[in-house]
A and B are shown apart, each in its own frame.
Chain A
Amino acid sequence: MTIHIQTDDFDTGLMLNKLRLASPSIGALVSFVGQVRDMNDGDAINTLTLEHYPEMTEKALVAIENEAKIRWDIIDSLIIHRVGTLKPLDQIVLVAVTSAHRGEAFKACDFIMDFLKTGAPFWKKETTSQGERWVEAKLADDEAKERWK
Chain B
Amino acid sequence: MIIKILYFARIKEAVSYSTEEVDLPADVSTITALKNYLSLRGDTWASLFNGKQVVRAAINHALVDDLAVIQAADEVAFFPPVTGG
Contact between A122 and B77, CB atoms less than 8 A apart: no
Number of A-B contacts (CB under 8 A): 74
Q: Are A134 and B61 in contact (CB under 8 A)?
A: no
B25 is an interface residue with CB less than 8 A from chain A: no
Which of B6, B61, B63 is A119 in contact with, Cβ under 8 Å?
A: B63
A134, B10: Cβ atoms closer than 8 Å: yes
Distance in Å: Cβ of A12 to nearest Cβ of chain B: 16
Q: Are B84 and A52 in contact (CB under 8 A)?
A: yes
B84 touches A120 (CB 8 A): yes
Interface window among A19-27, A53-61, A68-76, A96-104: A53-61
Q: Please pick, from B62, B63, B75, B82, the residue contacting A123 in the complex, using a CB distance under 8 A.
A: B82
Interface range on chain A (Cβ under 8 Å from partner): 20 to 34
Residues in chain A near residue B54, CB distance under 8 A: 137
With a cutoff of 8 Å between Cβ atoms, the chain B residues found around residue A93 in the complex are: 84-85
Q: Are A137 and B81 in contact (CB under 8 A)?
A: yes
Interface membership of B37, Cβ < 8 A:
no
**What count of chain B residues pass the 8 Å CB interface test?**
18
Q: Which residues of B40-85 have CB atoms within 8 Å of chain A's CB atoms?
A: 54, 58, 61-63, 75, 77, 79-85
Provide the residues of chain B in CB contact with A119, threshold 8 Å.
63, 82
CB of A70 to closest CB in B, whole Å: 18
Residues B85 and A121 in contact, CB atoms below 8 Å apart: no
The contact of A56 among B9, B61, B80, B85, by CB within 8 Å, is B61
A16 near B: Cβ within 8 Å? Answer: no
Residues of chain A contacted by B81 (CB below 8 angstroms): 118, 136-137
User: What B residues does A92 contact at CB under 8 A?
Assistant: 84-85
Nearest opposing residue in chain B for A52, CB measure: B84
Give me 20 A-to-B residue pairs in the complex whose CB atoms sit less than 8 angstroms apart, sorted by A's number.
Answer: A50-B84, A52-B84, A53-B6, A53-B77, A53-B79, A56-B61, A56-B77, A60-B61, A81-B85, A93-B84, A117-B82, A117-B83, A121-B8, A121-B77, A123-B10, A123-B80, A123-B83, A134-B10, A134-B80, A135-B83
Which B residues lie at the A interface, using CB under 8 A? 6, 8-10, 54, 58, 61-63, 75, 77, 79-85
